[in-house]
Chains A and B, each alone.
Chain A
Amino acid sequence: MPRLTARERREGYQREYAFQKRHGKPFFPNAVFHDTIVSLIVVALIMGLTILWYAQFGPVSADPTAERVGGLLGPAYEAKADPGVLGYHPQPDWYFFFLFELLRIFKTPQLLIVGTIIIPTIWMVLLIGWPFIDRNPDRRLSRRPIALAIGVMVPVVLLTLTFYGSKAPGVGGAASTEPGAAAFAGGACSTCHVLANAGTAGNVGPVLDDAKPDYATALKLITNGQGGMPSFKATYTEDEISCLAGYVATWSAAVGETPGPNADTAKETYPASCEKAGGLFTGTASSAAGP
């Protein structure tokens, strides 16, 4: 087939579409009939989900750490938001799971921005600009191998990320099972600090993997606060504060299972204070058990 100029192609399209319209059928009743049926099915589906959800959710517990109640489709709502609650593992709604999983893949502080900003931005640019990227005029799939490959790959990647994101135990506490990690990630600390080991991405305070505080510094700041950092004297017991300070000193700037440079400064108390603090502070790691 001879190569057509862009203009000839556009004229070819106009001719073809004018023909298809001339030999077409009126929108009403043909298309309207199909549209109505599909809309009714969709509304019925939404009502069905609502009724199933309503039929199965039980009474809501006032205790925020209690098991979630609710049937197949989840609870009506959870306990009232309480910034002081520890150990809550937030999960976004299902359509943000893919983003959530990206966060977990790029969880080190240097790479975090790849998952949070760079990939989503590239995504949006590609999405909006797509008609200008795909310049192939043909619409038949057999003549669009690259578009077909992308069209198959994107849903596969998104579904995979969504699947693993749904299995993730929540951003807080996702990354580590060391003593103190769950308390750090589940508490207020996660709101303000990046600490890769705990998987937190807060941005009010310094990135702890860069600050690499030693035990004494951390203990002092958590106890008394300073500048934008609140004092936690009233919130936590002495053991709990010691545990958090030990955790931060030990695991800031850690590389995988190897503790960070200031780990030695916390040796005396960490993880002993965490054991004493008990509960969420003990961690669930049993390195003996292996992965």
Chain B
Amino acid sequence: MSTLLPPPKEIAMMPVDWVEERSGAISFGKFMLFRNVPKDISWLQTLGSALITVFILQSTTGILLAMYYQPDPDTAWSTIQWITNDATLGWLVRGMHKWGSSIMVVLLFLHMGRTFLFGAYKYPREMTWITGAIIFILVMGMSFTGYLLVFDERAYWATIVGVNINGTAPILGPALSYILMVGPEISTYTLSRFYSLHMLVLPSAIGGLIFLHMLLVVRLGVTSPPWSRMQPTEDDV
């Protein structure tokens, strides 16, 4: 009997080998983990991965909030109230989403500052910077659309001001604020439009761009700090 069965270790590896043979996922994972990075990378280069963490956190808490939130002028505010005061740990979920957004903006500025000071946007990493810059603008859009959703006094009036800012643009301005608000004033449609932008359109766009950003980072490798002493010598060429 025993001769018919391979040793236990091989049995354990069978699903892994099965996946590897069909997808190459295992060797890809190994490549990702064990690819070399410059010896002297610094702590400042951890901010990007912290941003990924916060993005995952925002997505998770956002999905949880979406399970209870109703984007309707009559009930939006009460659902927020309910989440904050009555739902089990609702305050934690809402609070982490709220403060996570502020921390994300801070981290974006720091990460941008780091890549700027390192000159990391220079050849060949121009596209990494450009995808990052677009992410930055979209994240500001997330903040703007998210602000209205609480639908309290602050949210309402700040959004009016924000939409009016768009409205001052020549030619396109009034049309733009009309499109944003779905009419001349904030209504049910404004709220559902902002909600759809905030939870579907912008996060998907940001997620896709983060994927591109990471593709570029892995392909090009992270820079060593500009003060790096790791220079090739003549006989090393």
Cα A46 to Cα B101 in complex, Å, equals 9
Contact flags A41-54 to B (C-beta < 8 A → 1, else 0):
01101110111011
Minimal beta-carbon separation of A120 from chain B (angstroms): 9
Contact flags A191-209 to B (C-beta < 8 A → 1, else 0):
1000000000111100000
Cα A32 to Cα B226 in complex, Å, equals 21
Q: Decide if A4 is an interface residue (CB 8 Å cutoff).
A: no
- B157: nearest residue on chain A (CB-CB)? A90
Q: Which of A123-131, A217-225, A253-261, A270-278 contacts B (4 or more CB under 8 A)?
A: A123-131
Given A92-B147, A137-B122, A139-B118, A201:B50 Cβ within 8 A: no
Q: Which residues of B contact A137 (CB under 8 A)?
A: 122-123
Minimal beta-carbon separation of B141 from chain A (angstroms): 11
Cα A78 to Cα B39 in complex, Å, equals 51
Contact A93–B156 (Cβ < 8 Å): no
Cα A201 to Cα B167 in complex, Å, equals 9
Contact B140–A50 (Cβ < 8 Å): no
Q: Which residues of B contact A23 (CB under 8 A)?
A: 39, 230
Contact B221–A19 (Cβ < 8 Å): no
Minimal beta-carbon separation of B44 from chain A (angstroms): 10
Contact B152–A81 (Cβ < 8 Å): yes
Minimal beta-carbon separation of B230 from chain A (angstroms): 5
- A139: nearest residue on chain B (CB-CB)? B119
Chain A, 178-199, CB within 8 A of any chain B CB: 190-191
Contact flags B131-167 to A (C-beta < 8 A → 1, else 0):
0011011001001100100111111111011101111
Cα A278 to Cα B30 in complex, Å, equals 74
Contact A46–B103 (Cβ < 8 Å): yes
Contact B49–A35 (Cβ < 8 Å): yes
Contact B38–A38 (Cβ < 8 Å): no
Contact A80–B152 (Cβ < 8 Å): yes
Partner of B185, one of A30, A83, A172: A83
Q: Which residues of A contact B59 (CB under 8 A)?
A: none
Contact A42–B228 (Cβ < 8 Å): no
Count A-B pairs with CB separation below 8 Å.
Answer: 248
Q: Decide if A167 is an interface residue (CB 8 Å cutoff).
A: no
Contact A78–B153 (Cβ < 8 Å): yes
Contact B116–A116 (Cβ < 8 Å): no
Q: Decide if B15 is an interface residue (CB 8 Å cutoff).
A: no
Contact B84–A90 (Cβ < 8 Å): no
Contact B221–A28 (Cβ < 8 Å): no
- A89: nearest residue on chain B (CB-CB)? B157
Contact B168–A112 (Cβ < 8 Å): yes
Give A contacts to B, CB under 8 Å.
9-10, 13, 15-28, 30-32, 34-35, 37-39, 42-43, 45-47, 49-51, 53-54, 60, 64, 76-83, 85, 88-96, 99-100, 103, 112-113, 116-117, 124, 127-128, 130-132, 134, 137-141, 144, 147, 151, 155, 170-172, 190-191, 201-204, 228
- 15 residue pairs from A and B, CB less than 8 Å apart: A17-B221, A20-B39, A23-B39, A25-B39, A26-B35, A35-B46, A42-B103, A43-B57, A50-B96, A54-B91, A76-B85, A99-B165, A131-B129, A170-B157, A171-B161
Not counting A21-B38, A23-B230, a sample of 5 additional A-B residue pairs whose C-beta atoms are within 8 angstroms of each other reads A34-B45, A92-B158, A139-B223, A144-B119, A203-B164
Give B contacts to A, CB under 8 Å.
32-39, 41, 43, 45-47, 49-50, 53-54, 57, 73, 77-78, 80-81, 84-85, 91-92, 95-96, 98-100, 102-103, 105, 107, 109, 113, 116-126, 129-130, 133-134, 136-137, 140, 143-144, 147, 150-158, 160-162, 164-170, 173-174, 177, 184-186, 221, 223-224, 226-228, 230-232, 236-237
A-B pairs with the 9 shortest C-beta distances? A90-B157, A50-B95, A139-B119, A81-B156, A203-B167, A24-B36, A131-B126, A19-B232, A28-B33
